[in-house]
Structure 1
Amino acid sequence: VLHPGDFAKSDLAGKFDVILFPDTDKDILMTGKRKSSGNYYMGSYHPDYVKGIGKEGMEKLMAFSDGGGSIISWGQSARLFEGMLKIKKGDVEEEFSLPFRDLSPDLAKGGLYVPGSLVKVKLIEDHPLTLGMPSSIGVFSRGRPVFTTSVPKFDMDRRVIGKYPEKDILMSGYAAGEEKMGNRAAMIWMKKGQGQYVLFGFGPQFRTSTQASYKLLFNAILLEQVD
């Protein structure tokens, strides 16, 4: 287990091939504190146990990716990789943004509400991440994140692996405004240099009860370089 506070002092590239980020708030991952209305709040745990990744730890993570490491993330932690990122090579810094964005905050303002339900996702065929999978499955979703992708630049690439159907999205449970998720990306693969990113908009292993989506996670862990 790699804790957020371990990133800055760890040789990530030397110890790991794949790093997984579960469904955790971005601010908690980065700072160890919860952010609300612009303010940060400490939790009830001792400060030694709630250290965040921090700037130095994020630099180590980006160096890990740049060296060919794979990053897998689901739920809220996917926002850790949204927006401006940096790879530091000696005295040179490369700034870049991965070709995706999380639409769920905007969709929620428009009425999307999924408290935790089974929804349908359509998967592409003939891709290593969907090996052994049917064309559609039910996944556990809280309605976040919901992805959109953009045309990749320079040494980047991207592929939508799974998306919500246009209609009949809800399979079990309750949801409001679920049609706003229609035709949106639920799972994406991206590449930056030699590093690969697999982002899930749902919990592929939710409480060990969503066996239909386990294989997507296993395929991501075992994923080799994709051209």
Structure 2
Amino acid sequence: MYFLVAAFSLGLYAAADGAVSPNCTPQAKDQVAWEMVRAMAQDVFYLFATTISQTPNCTSFKVNQTDEGNHTGTLVIRSGGEKVTTTTVVADGNKFIINTEDGAYPVLYTDNSTCGVFASEDPDELLLWVAGGSAQEHTFDQCCWKVFEGEVKKKRDSEQGCEEPEVLPTGRPAKQTGTYSKFSENCLTFVNESRSEELPSSETESSS
């Protein structure tokens, strides 16, 4: 069962105080999908938090072989630190389009280097992606966290505004947006070990 990170989010808010602008309101320049593709070509990005509890922990994106003219790249997806999928990503305006059944992910906010907030074709899904170099110490742009939490709050408010929300037999709402942490230090270990295993034997020997 995944851990609901309410306390975690409060901690990040406290850490962000005084370090970011008061509103962190995204503008068009903060929603360019190609900038996310370029950032993922520089560092591995990890799924840091999401509103879907079933999403595997330690999911990562890494872009290779970018094409500046066509705004495309080869995207390597690691799911749960184990399953690897290689596909194509296309940047079209604010849309980060994955050439799989996942479809398009609109960019809600990115600082173009350390993090990005995405929506998806699933209306219940929001995602916060963070570069590996800043994920462990939480040194990514805290506007990403504020925008992510702001979008989550909008969903919660819209759910509460329903006149007759569906209720489970336990009496709890059948649909209530929460945020789930998907990153830990172990995620970095998974990816580093996988990369070592994929190195050619000669390269592995020379580095040992």
Q: TM-score, normalised by structure 2?
A: 0.25
Q: TM-score, normalised by structure 1?
A: 0.23
